[in-house]
Amino acid sequence: MNRTVPNNSRTGRQPLLYLAFFFGLTTALQAQLTPTYIVDIPMRDGKTLAADVYVPDACTGCPTILIQTPYNKNTFRNGLPLGFGQNLQSSPYSWVVVDWRGFYGSAAAATAQANRGQDGYDVLEWIKVQAWANGKVGTWGPSALGSIQYQTAKEKHPNHTCAVPLVAHPQQSYDSYFYGGVLEKSRLQSLDLLGYGLSPLILANPYYNLIWQIAENSSWYPQDIQIPTLQIGGWYDHNIDKMMDWYTATRNEAALAVRDKQWLLVGPWVHGGTGLAFVGSPNQGQLIYADAAFVNNQMALDFFNFYLLGTANGWENTPKITYYELGKNSWNTSNAASIEIANTDTLFLNGNAAISTQPGGGSTSFSCDPKNPSPTIGGHTLSLGLQQGPFDQTSLESRADVLPFSTAVLPADIAVSGRVRAQLYVQADQPDADIAIRLVDGYPDGRNMLINDGIHRMRFRNGYTQAAEAFMSPGQVYMVEVELPFINYTWKAGHTLNVYVSGNSSTRWDVNLQNGGTMYAPGDTNIAQIQVHHSAQYPSKLLLPGNNQLSATRDLLPATAVSLFPNPASGFVTVESTLPLDRYEIFDLTGKRIHAGKLPGGRINVSGLQNGVYLVQFFSAGRTVMKKLVKH
């Protein structure tokens, strides 16, 4: 039935303006899209959900796009997604936007145990009999609006035709809240601010237990997917890791009739919701990806047009996976169920802050003070107080509690696709500590851009159950593995592959008090002396999912073996080296070799070069190192 209602919001919360960017709605807020109908949709328990219905004038029997939101349906009055904005009449679809049970206009329908999948089913039952609908319904939405699409699909309503979930997966899992056993504090606080009220339940279960096992098993159901989906994710999104597993599972386990009707699009995008960047925007953190702007919208429209309108647009020939290769900054496709590379390349941490293909010797130490934690700078965050996406990490190098490790300048590309793992051998003088890893691309211009990061709590190095908890003893060395989220990335020749090791990353993750006491409770903080070993006996290393010819970097000289001055230079450059150098080659930043020679007198004449930045590769008895040179 139709009704006029006030703009209600859930008690204690107001609509969040930043959610307009989350949905990609950039229409000026002065203009408002007026719903055709404002309705109460009946549920099976006798309660109703509040909904806005938008029907173009020419629509007398159109397919429908359903959006179910916990963030206030009225937000969509600023404009419809997929580029329609205020222009409802250009849409070939009718739209139904529903407030979740217990949220905003549907606050009165709150129940202790809401089954949102059943609610979605009941909304579909209502839509199918409306005069403006033709029975075909597609669902769309990011994050929570994506998760509920899977819950609705699980109920198998015959009119649920297809789904486009963005930056979302259905599983409620332990490691979604406790990454490496460490509470993702800022994200949980953000969810509380949005009205989910999860903190009491999450904090009461900091160990993996039966509650988590039940939650994970009951929310993992790829076999129940019986409709085509276009799953859209972002490499800088905190959900990307689970999304990649979920997509592979739907390709292998969904209903047989639709296993080959599951598509995946992954762009260079953040999660959205906490800043100006969102899925489809060209600006992501401190980088710009102009060729990825709104690719998500176009693919979603092609998908909907094929399944809802019957448009002969060739969608069925679309490659199953379309993904953006970060670093190369180009689009690629695959028809496989996964783009993860099974092979593993190994790089070792070494002394002098180096990374190479051979283990070195000794160890490196740092002091970790919980009262002065290393700051979170961008990344896969979800918090109004944190930046989101790729940001320069160079400022961390000045901190005494961060160990930067770097390869020499790369003579060839290093490409990975999958989950990078850091296996570190660690000892500390306190019973507990965290090991945080930031994976970084060192640019020739001096920027050190974050790719992704992870953390692991030492007491959980053997597992996340309370029975597996084990504290450290002073003087004893322990191996801990920090697994980073799924990434597809290429470090280009001329760049460096960098890793920053620290004891925390605040405020994204909870700061370990390092006293071995009860977690997430007040207590005294202990300063920890943490030692990272990188010897033949304790070879701390990086495991890269790739098929790289690392033999090209096997005998890299340490970057400190060669120095150039003056640099910048206009005439001659003096070369000093701790080893005899055979020859050199000069490359521009595109990788083109433009000059080569010997080193008589230890000098290079660069007066004939155009002004700019160059890479000079030096050779010594089969070993090599690259140095950056600025000509002016």
How does pLDDT run across 116-172, given as a tens digit for each residue? 999 999 999 999 999 999 999 999 999 999 999 999 999 999 999 999 999 999 999
Predicted confidence band at 28 (pLDDT cuts at 50, 70, 90)? very low
Of 502, 504, 184, 500, which Cα lies nearest the Cα of 373? 504
Query: How many domains does the chain divide into?
Result: 3
For residues 410 and 528, membership in a common domain is answered with yes
φ, ψ at 283 (rounded to 5°): -85, 125
Classify residue 233: in a domain, yes or no: yes
Packed helices 144-154 and 116-127: angle between N→C axes, nearest 10 degrees: 80
H runs (alpha helix) in 130-238: 144-154, 174-177, 185-193, 199-203, 210-218
Q: 130, exposed or middle or buried, with CB in 10 Å at 0-12, 13-18, 19+?
A: middle
For residues 447 and 353, membership in a common domain is answered with yes
Cβ proximity of 265 and 231 under 8 Å: yes
For residues 324 and 435, membership in a common domain is answered with no
Classify residue 476: in a domain, yes or no: yes
CATH of the domain at 383: 2.60.120.260
Element (H, E) at 244: helix 240-253
Classify residue 571: in a domain, yes or no: yes
pLDDT at position 194 over 80: yes
User: What is the DSSP code string of 171-199?
Assistant: ---HHHHEETTEE-HHHHHHHHHTT---H
Quick: pLDDT tens for 100-112: 999 999 999 999 8
Quick: pLDDT tens for 220-273: 999 999 999 999 999 999 999 999 999 999 999 999 999 999 999 999 999 999
Cβ proximity of 380 and 453 under 8 Å: yes
Q: 317, exposed or middle or buried, with CB in 10 Å at 0-12, 13-18, 19+?
A: exposed
Q: Which has more pLDDT, 553 or 519? A: 519
Cβ proximity of 608 and 572 under 8 Å: no
> Distance between CA atoms of 404 and 366, rounded to whole angstroms?
11
Predicted confidence band at 403 (pLDDT cuts at 50, 70, 90)? very high
Tokens linked to 406: 């770097």
Of 119, 123, 148, which Cα lies nearest the Cα of 133? 123
By residue range, what is the domain housing residue 286? 19-171+225-334
Classify residue 11: in a domain, yes or no: no
For residues 161 and 62, membership in a common domain is answered with yes
SS3 state of residue 496: strand
CATH of the domain at 146: 3.40.50.1820
Cβ proximity of 153 and 224 under 8 Å: yes
For residues 248 and 121, membership in a common domain is answered with yes
For residues 100 and 147, membership in a common domain is answered with yes
Q: What percentage of residues in the chain have a pLDDT greater than 70? A: 93
Classify residue 8: in a domain, yes or no: no
Domain end point (choices 503, 521, 553): 553
Classify residue 185: in a domain, yes or no: no
Classify residue 387: in a domain, yes or no: yes
SS3 state of residue 397: helix
For residues 302 and 164, membership in a common domain is answered with yes
For residues 393 and 477, membership in a common domain is answered with yes
Quick: pLDDT tens for 340-386: 999 999 999 998 899 999 888 899 999 999 999 999 999 999 999 99
Which amino acid does the sequence have at 556?
L
Q: Is 44 left (phi over 0), alpha (psi -120 to 50) or beta?
A: alpha
Cβ proximity of 496 and 408 under 8 Å: yes
For residues 574 and 542, membership in a common domain is answered with no
CATH of the domain at 580: 2.60.40.10
pLDDT at position 30 over 60: no
Q: Is 75 left (phi over 0), alpha (psi -120 to 50) or beta?
A: alpha
For residues 325 and 372, membership in a common domain is answered with no
For residues 536 and 564, membership in a common domain is answered with no
> Distance between CA atoms of 301 and 607, rounded to whole angstroms?
55
Cβ proximity of 435 and 403 under 8 Å: no
Quick: pLDDT tens for 522-576: 999 999 999 999 999 999 999 999 999 885 444 566 677 788 989 999 999 999 9
Quick: pLDDT tens for 54-91: 999 999 899 999 999 999 999 999 999 999 999 999 99
H runs (alpha helix) in 359-407: none
Domain end point (choices 508, 525, 553): 553
Classify residue 188: in a domain, yes or no: no
Predicted confidence band at 310 (pLDDT cuts at 50, 70, 90)? very high
Mean of all residue pLDDT scores within the chain = 92
CB neighbours of residue 497 within 10 Å? 24
SS3 state of residue 222: helix
Domain end point (choices 494, 525, 553): 553
Q: Is 295 left (phi over 0), alpha (psi -120 to 50) or beta?
A: alpha
For residues 241 and 117, membership in a common domain is answered with yes
